């Protein structure tokens, strides 16, 4: 089997209204580059037509061959979806992107440069750098909460990043797959956990300023998921203290 250059991992939960256009745009861009790629849509127990929409979108482009759908059956959380997609991916590189393409797919070229020229194993799309371009901002309450979380994240983990939660990250799979085997969090805090594990493994990660647009249909619930993020920081330090990250899970 010809190896894929790029695997695109898309967690999806009740995304029938947004997933189709996003897949169309991804396919159009990646086809123009004329490099092999695969799309992995990880359906997190959706109750709508998410899976049908994905199949229809690739069929309209004549690219049924590039799509793989992984169905969880029940809602397991974004972290679980990303872990499952990354462990199933067959590319040399794997891109995590949100179903709404808050960061345009074209921005992947910036992340690829950091891996090919910068000697990094992970490139992190970031909204927090001076060269980031925010085309539509979140509300002031969400932005403030994000800044508070980032400060708490730095204090709890020692990680230096300005933005860990932008859903646009590129991984060199050969060296990074072990991180997802060790990942334990299923919540939105999985991003921090993966970067924490990368530092423990002495893998290099670089933040990259990207274009980003807030979508009002965001699935993140301010109070519930905000509390889950903070709980996740505690879990990361606790798991490390107990040596749970020393176990390499193979499934």
Helices (H), ranges, 92-221? 108-116, 140-157, 173-182, 190-200
Residues 6 or more apart whose CB falls under 8 angstroms from that of 71 comprise 43, 45, 51
**Cross-strand bridge partners of residue 7:** 38, 94
Find the helix or strand (DSSP H, E) in which 22 lies.
helix 19-33
**Cross-strand bridge partners of residue 124:** 169, 207
Q: How confident is the model at residue 119 (pLDDT cuts 50, 70, 90)?
A: confident
pLDDT at 42 over 80: yes
Q: Measure the CA–CA gap between 173 and 180, rounded to whole angstroms.
A: 10
Q: Measure the CA–CA gap between 200 and 203, rounded to whole angstroms.
A: 8
pLDDT at 180 over 80: yes
User: Which residue did the predictor score with more confidence, 240 or 118?
Assistant: 240
Decide: 24 and 55 in contact? Cβ < 8 Å: no
pLDDT at 223 over 70: no
Q: Is 59 helix (H, G, I), strand (E, B) or coil?
A: helix
Q: How confident is the model at residue 1 (pLDDT cuts 50, 70, 90)?
A: very low
> In this structure, is the dihedral angle defined by the CA atoms of residues 150, 114, 18 and 76, taken in order, positive or negative?
negative
User: Which residue did the predictor score with more confidence, 66 or 251?
Assistant: 66
The whole model's pTM is what?
0.92
Q: Is 183 helix (H, G, I), strand (E, B) or coil?
A: coil
Domains and CATH numbers, the chain: 4-246 (3.90.550.10)
Percent of the chain scored above 90 by pLDDT?
81
Q: Measure the CA–CA gap between 15 and 18, rounded to whole angstroms.
A: 5
pLDDT at 249 over 80: no
Q: Measure the CA–CA gap between 91 and 1, rounded to whole angstroms.
A: 12
Mean pLDDT along residues 62-74:
96
Q: Measure the CA–CA gap between 115 and 111, rounded to whole angstroms.
A: 7
Mean pLDDT along residues 149-172:
95
């Amino acid at each position: 089997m010809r190896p894929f250059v790029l695997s695109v991992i898309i967690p999806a939960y009740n995304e029938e209204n947004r997933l189709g256009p996003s897949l169309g745009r991804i396919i159009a861009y990646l086809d123009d580059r004329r490099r092999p790629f695969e799309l992995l849509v990880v359906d997190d127990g959706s109750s709508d037509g998410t899976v049908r929409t994905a199949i229809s979108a690739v069929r309209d482009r004549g690219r049924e061959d590039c799509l793989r759908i992984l169905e969880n059956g029940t809602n397991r959380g974004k972290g679980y979806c990303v872990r499952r997609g990354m462990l199933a991916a067959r590319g040399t590189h794997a891109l995590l992107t949100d179903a709404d393409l808050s960061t345009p797919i074209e921005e992947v070229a910036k992340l690829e440069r950091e891996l090919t020229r910068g000697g990094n194993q992970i490139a992190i799309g970031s909204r927090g750098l001076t060269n980031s371009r925010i085309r539509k901002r979140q509300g002031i309450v969400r932005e403030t909460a994000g800044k508070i979380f980032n400060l708490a994240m730095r204090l709890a983990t020692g990680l230096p990043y300005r933005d860990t939660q932008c859903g646009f990250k590129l991984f060199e799979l050969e060296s990074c797959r072990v991180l997802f085997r060790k990942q334990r969090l299923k919540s939105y805090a999985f991003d921090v956990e993966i970067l924490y594990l990368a530092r423990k493994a002495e893998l290099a990660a670089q933040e990259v300023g990207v274009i980003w647009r807030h979508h009002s249909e965001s699935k993140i619930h301010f109070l519930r998921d905000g509390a889950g993020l903070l709980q996740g920081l505690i879990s990361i330090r606790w798991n490390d203290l107990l040596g749970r990250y020393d176990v390499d899970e193979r499934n």
